[in-house]
Amino acid sequence: MKTLHRLAVMLLPLATPCIAASADQSYNSQNRDRQEASIKHEYSPLVEKVRRATWRYKDINVPKATTWVVGTPCVSGPNTGAMGVHLIEPSRLNDDVLDAEEPEALIYEPMGNGNFRLVGVEFIMLAPKWEEQHAGTAPALDGHLMNYVGTPNRYGLPAFYELHVWAWEHNPEGNFADWNTQVTCNKAQPE
């Protein structure tokens, strides 16, 4: 037993650099993962515009006290992630204007106990209105092409174009992906 103890004491100084190197390697690997994620989700002028335009809506009671209405209950993804609860501004939904500072929908994640947090926005352009004036082209907002959603759809809308902007919640899939794996409907209260 004394021999094992002496051997351990003699080898400890040799093991310390290996443990430190392993910790450094782990730290560097985590750092590299964070850097790659930040490159994938690098600065976007559109995200910054949306953040400046919507910061006042972080408290869900602010838009609800005006003309915003609940457009959808919490929308969860087909496989993973969610969008959240959409508050819609009807006058914006029915106009034919795309403005980075005036989204048609605010998206909130239910946090339980009646609390919500703003996670993003959605820009929506009804396809018939767009196609009346721009046949053959898809709308774009600040250089970002919008996605087409045909009819019938789960929202009960005519065909439309949409673009999500995850301005208030990081999305591993990208700032403009439809579904956000960091958002969940698990804490949504029954209506």
99-149: per-residue pLDDT in tens?
999 999 999 999 988 899 999 999 999 999 899 988 889 999 999 999 999
* Location of structure tokens 């993003």: 120
User: 10 vs 65, which has greater pLDDT?
Assistant: 65
Write out the two tokens for 89.
């501004």
Query: What's the confidence (pLDDT) of residue 1?
Result: 53
Name 9's Cβ contacts closer than 8 Å, sequence gap at least 6.
none
Tens-digit pLDDT profile for residues 151-169: 999 888 899 999 999 999 9
Taking the alpha carbons of 27, 28, 31, 32 in that order, is the dihedral positive or negative?
Answer: negative
Q: Which residue ranges make up each domain of the chain? A: 1-40, 45-165
| Amino acid residing at 108 | Y
pLDDT at 22: 44
Residue type, 65: A
Burial class (CB in 10 A: 0-12, 13-18, 19+), 16: exposed
* C-alpha closest to that of 83 among 161, 188, 159: 188
Terminal C-alpha separation, the chain:
68
